[in-house]
Amino acid sequence: MNIYVGNLGFDVDEKDLEKLFSEFGTVSEIKIITEGFSGRSKGFGFVEIPDNSEADKAIKALNGFMLKERSIKVNQAEVRKKQKSRRPRF
């Protein structure tokens, strides 16, 4: 299951999330989203936990958890819909 993690402090890194989420099961992938130009965190990321029951436990336990003085938001990530191209067709 892909899990959205929001309201992250800019100093939170992927190792912090791995340590936190691995308490609930096997973490297969972690990605903190960064700004392209500066490389600074945008304050959210995604954690992949393949086992749905482990992922559900992590979501329930960690939503609202204080991580580095910030209450993080944790829920199942929504599937992103493909956006229509903004380029005009000729």
What percent of the chain shows pLDDT beyond 90? 81
| pTM for the predicted model, two decimal places | 0.86
Can you give the pLDDT at residue 80?
A: 74
pLDDT > 60? residue 78: yes
Note the CATH architecture for domain 2-76: 2-Layer Sandwich (3.30)
Domain residue ranges in the chain:
2-76
Dump the DSSP string for 62-89.
Answer: HTT-EETTEE-EEEEPPPPPPPPP-SPP
pLDDT interval class at 79 (50, 70, 90): confident
Angle of helix 14-21 versus helix 52-62 axis, rounded to 10: 110
